[in-house]
Chain A
């Protein structure tokens, strides 16, 4: 799979906590969208990542994601467990702040992967994405626009331009189109530090999930390698208390999936 970990990072993108305010500043709109994507409590869900190359499905991975807000950074730490395909079953990825650990049950060993190493090999592996856009980005309202969503439906949207406000922000600039009134994300464009467009995300298939109407499928179009498109499908999002120990590297061998 060309982007095995990118999807995981972007799973985190979707599940972030946010604040909800009354007056509609650009920052408020952003916070509103954060809330749509994110249940505001610790949770687990199933995630199916499918990779399409030149339009043909080439790879699918099924994961269980456990996410919980980190009290200090207000970002979501993730523990991800592979379910499918069988050869990868039981492998885990821990994302704890900017650290990423990979765990393999057949050797019961884990290796830390630095941000530089995530680019190693053929894939541009997982970027740890700020789940909480509101915290890490400064928003500016560009205007109101009509936009075609992923299902070719017209949506009335706020067009926000986000600039990185902290060092932890993964992308230096992000554009978002958020549906007026519902605060649902329709489309996002993510830019690198050099100003190049890296990814385009479309959000759709909104369904009831853990106390809100949330996007259950995200389509991620790679803007650098134009042959590559990834889809992420979430299901079975449930609240779950996740103990601190689960986010320790040494605990990974003992972690039992549900």
Chain B
């Protein structure tokens, strides 16, 4: 007890030095924590964005992941509604679920034939209400909402497309997109000589449908063509309400977002309307392992030919980016750690050296070497505790201030800027770890000079200048 009292008094007595040392530790703590919160926010942000759009995992027909690419109708889930019911009612899964929703993805040709342009498209058919629900996922807090889905339940006739696709289909004006290039006429073959001229226009006009009343001709409309499972050509109309940037150029150039109903109409035609995947969103990401295991058991029990993959398997780039962040963070943390370590050792040594007289005095009074060492260790510990605590408090205040400034950034693969913040919730574990680390470092940093101080000859120490 005496030890702590004396250590504490010493710290107060050497006000300036204590302040220097403690602030060095505090700054180090602040830097590490703020950087960690920055990276943490980015990682959480990415995860939140992914989970909102694609859920935590998806159930497919067995073989889809390996072979189903480009051939969704052959690898679809029959009687998907009963599978969904099975999942939703399972007692183990039920408390973990937030959303279970069917999804259809398909490929085909999108055409704006009036403007003579067509392009391969990739379509995504969803249940708008479910998607809206998924976009509310905010397990980490502070990520706000993801905006409107762009589709209406029960309205299979309207949908959205990527801005790149809109440009290629010459829909810039009706959809009010800027920066549209003007197409140059491609070199067309000259009309063939000697080909019989036949008046097709009259023939074709006989069956041309008049504009049905109520159809707004100002709303841009495109045709979506695809082949159904049995090989029939199928076509549906889509009124485009909006062109939305999809982030990655490859996707933006092909994306068509529509309701599940329309996608099923197009892909399955008169056959059984199936689903290509069942998307599942959970309350917490940590529940993935348990949920997947349970699903596998369930499918085995009911002899269902299904497989399930989590969002990391479906998005290998996600892991790459996370890994990248991890690598950068470790590298930076090492650099900062070295600096902090050095600073603490430096300041502690200096303060020890400044007090050599003092050390000599107490040694002369009879304190043992071990006593001196212990003294300084405890002082180091105290300074570490004070400094680290101050650092954490300051970082909390700074983060709160920073988050209030409303800064923004645009993550890679995203279309529009999102708030740039420092992660302020759920970081308690991280803060404790940093705190402990720095306290430990300060104590160890005090040890070496303390030993050196204790090892001095009393006589020399007394007359040190």
In the bound complex, what is the Cα–Cα distance between A225 and B208 (angstroms)?
Answer: 12
Say how far B222's CB is from chain A's closest CB, in angstroms: 11
B113's nearest neighbour on chain A, judged by CB, is: A225
In the bound complex, residues from chain B placing their C-beta under 8 Å from that of A58 are: 188-189, 191-192
In the bound complex, what is the Cα–Cα distance between A50 and B198 (angstroms)?
Answer: 12
Contact A118 B227 (CB under 8 A): yes
Contact B236 A196 (CB under 8 A): yes
- Render B103-127 as a binary contact track against A, CB cut-off 8 A, 1 for contact: 0000111010110101010000000
Say how far B231's CB is from chain A's closest CB, in angstroms: 3
Known: A58-B191, A119-B225, A194-B265. A229 touches B234 (CB 8 A): no
Contact A231 B198 (CB under 8 A): yes
In the bound complex, residues from chain B placing their C-beta under 8 Å from that of A198 are: 233, 235
A60's nearest neighbour on chain B, judged by CB, is: B192
Interface-lining segment among B199-207, B395-403, B416-424, B434-442: B199-207
Contact B111 A167 (CB under 8 A): no
Contact B270 A193 (CB under 8 A): yes
Interface status of A221 (Cβ within 8 A of chain B): yes
Interface status of B375 (Cβ within 8 A of chain A): no
Known: A56-B191, A58-B189, A60-B195. A196 touches B235 (CB 8 A): yes
In the bound complex, what is the Cα–Cα distance between A32 and B207 (angstroms)?
Answer: 26
Interface status of B326 (Cβ within 8 A of chain A): no
A231's nearest neighbour on chain B, judged by CB, is: B198
In the bound complex, residues from chain B placing their C-beta under 8 Å from that of A197 are: 207, 209
In the bound complex, residues from chain A placing their C-beta under 8 Å from that of B188 are: 58
A119's nearest neighbour on chain B, judged by CB, is: B227
Interface status of B266 (Cβ within 8 A of chain A): yes
- Render A39-56 as a binary contact track against B, CB cut-off 8 A, 1 for contact: 000000000001010011
Contact B70 A116 (CB under 8 A): yes
Contact A193 B237 (CB under 8 A): no
In the bound complex, residues from chain A placing their C-beta under 8 Å from that of B195 are: 50, 57, 60
Known: A119-B226, A200-B207, A227-B116. A193 touches B192 (CB 8 A): no
Chain A, 97-151, CB within 8 A of any chain B CB: 98, 114-116, 118-122, 124, 127-128, 148, 150
Contact B203 A194 (CB under 8 A): no
Contact A115 B235 (CB under 8 A): no
Interface status of A202 (Cβ within 8 A of chain B): yes
Give the interface SS of chain A, mostly helix, strand, loop or mixed: loop
Interface status of A74 (Cβ within 8 A of chain B): no
In the bound complex, what is the Cα–Cα distance between A223 and B205 (angstroms)?
Answer: 10
Chain B, 240-298, CB within 8 A of any chain A CB: 265-266, 268-271
Known: A57-B191, A221-B203. A98 touches B230 (CB 8 A): yes
Contact A115 B230 (CB under 8 A): yes
In the bound complex, what is the Cα–Cα distance between A122 and B229 (angstroms)?
Answer: 20
What number of A residues sit within 8 Å (CB to CB) of B?
47
Say how far B261's CB is from chain A's closest CB, in angstroms: 11
Chain A, 197-224, CB within 8 A of any chain B CB: 197-198, 200, 202, 219, 221, 223-224
Contact B203 A124 (CB under 8 A): no
What number of B residues sit within 8 Å (CB to CB) of A?
47
B223's nearest neighbour on chain A, judged by CB, is: A224
In the bound complex, residues from chain A placing their C-beta under 8 Å from that of B227 are: 115-116, 118-119
Contact B232 A116 (CB under 8 A): no
Chain A, 50-83, CB within 8 A of any chain B CB: 50, 52, 55-60
Contact A229 B200 (CB under 8 A): yes
Interface status of B78 (Cβ within 8 A of chain A): no
Interface status of A14 (Cβ within 8 A of chain B): no
Contact B200 A55 (CB under 8 A): yes
Say how far A119's CB is from chain B's closest CB, in angstroms: 5
B268's nearest neighbour on chain A, judged by CB, is: A193
Interface status of A15 (Cβ within 8 A of chain B): no
Interface status of A172 (Cβ within 8 A of chain B): yes
In the bound complex, residues from chain A placing their C-beta under 8 Å from that of B443 are: none
In the bound complex, what is the Cα–Cα distance between A60 and B189 (angstroms)?
Answer: 12
Interface status of A182 (Cβ within 8 A of chain B): no
Known: A50-B195, A116-B107. A193 touches B234 (CB 8 A): yes
Chain A, 213-256, CB within 8 A of any chain B CB: 219, 221, 223-227, 229, 231
Known: A150-B203, A164-B270, A193-B269. A128 touches B231 (CB 8 A): yes
Contact A193 B228 (CB under 8 A): yes
Say how far A53's CB is from chain B's closest CB, in angstroms: 8
What would 20 A/B residue contacts be, using CB atoms closer than 8 Å? A55-B200, A56-B191, A57-B191, A57-B195, A59-B189, A98-B231, A114-B71, A116-B107, A119-B108, A119-B225, A119-B227, A119-B233, A127-B233, A167-B230, A170-B231, A170-B232, A193-B228, A202-B203, A224-B223, A225-B118
Report the 9 A-B pairs with minimum CB-CB distance, sorted nearest first. Answer: A193-B269, A115-B231, A57-B195, A56-B191, A225-B113, A57-B192, A115-B227, A192-B234, A229-B200
Given A119-B109, A221-B204, 9 other A-B residues pairs in contact with their CB atoms under 8 A = A55-B201, A59-B192, A116-B73, A116-B107, A119-B225, A121-B120, A167-B230, A189-B207, A197-B207
B residues whose Cβ falls under 8 Å from a Cβ of A = 70-71, 73, 107-109, 111, 113-114, 116, 118, 120, 188-189, 191-192, 195-196, 198, 200-201, 203-204, 206-209, 223, 225-237, 265-266, 268-271
